[in-house]
């Protein structure tokens, strides 16, 4: 039986026709559509940068990793914190639409899912994969 103490806060975000989840403590805000700026680079999953409040923020195209290389990036941005050793950096993740904050009880992933899917959430008939950003990026960097 699920109890309140099993529940954790997640930010649910749409990508294409699916929704994914991030642990809420890694998310700082949802940003309105902004101008994506690009320059040449070789980093997988990086789509470019945004300028927000005079600061430059990298933009991650998570759709490519989560949905496949043909997936198109979204127009909204979820701002999440990434860790680099002892340091943190805000990164914008492009998402397809509005996000939702939800308290749900995660269950362990089943079947053959990528390592960056650390759990599953169930809402009615919908199953939502919980994404570990650090593992997602390390998987892509190694690829």
Residues that bind other proteins (CB under 8 A): 37-43, 46, 49, 51, 54-58, 60, 82, 84-85, 87, 89, 91, 137, 141
- Looking at the Cβ atoms of 39 and 110, the one nearer to other proteins is 39
We find the least distance from the C-beta atom of residue 52 to other proteins, in angstroms, to be 11
Smaller CB separation from other proteins, 9 or 37: 37
Closest approach, Cβ 16 to other proteins, in A, equals 22
SS3 assignment, position 28: strand
Least CB distance to other proteins at residue 27 (A) = 16
How far, in Å, are 31, 86, 128 from residue 15 at the CA level?
15, 30, 11
Among residues 23, 50, 30, the alpha carbon closest in space to that of 39 is found at 50
Nearer to other proteins, 55 or 112 (CB): 55
Who's near 70: CB < 8 A, 6+ residues apart?
none
Name the minimum Å distance from CB 57 to other proteins.
7
Closest CA to 103 of 3, 10, 5: 10
Q: Which is nearer to other proteins, 2 or 138 (CB)?
A: 138
Q: Cα 83 vs. chain centroid, distance in angstroms?
A: 14
């Amino acid at each position: 039986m699920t109890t309140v103490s099993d529940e954790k806060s997640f930010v649910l975000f749409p990508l294409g026709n699916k929704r994914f989840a991030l642990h809420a403590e890694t998310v700082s805000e949802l940003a309105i559509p902004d101008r994506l700026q690009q320059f040449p680079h070789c980093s997988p999953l990086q789509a470019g940068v945004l300028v927000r409040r005079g600061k430059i923020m990298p933009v991650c195209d998570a759709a490519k990793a989560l949905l496949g290389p043909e997936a198109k990036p979204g127009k909204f941005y979820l701002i999440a914190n990434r860790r680099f050793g002892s340091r943190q950096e805000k990164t914008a993740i492009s998402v397809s639409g509005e996000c939702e904050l939800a308290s749900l009880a995660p269950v362990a992933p089943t079947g053959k899912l990528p390592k960056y899917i650390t759990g599953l959430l169930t809402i009615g008939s919908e199953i939502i994969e919980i994404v570990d950003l650090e593992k997602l990026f390390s998987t892509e960097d190694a690829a």
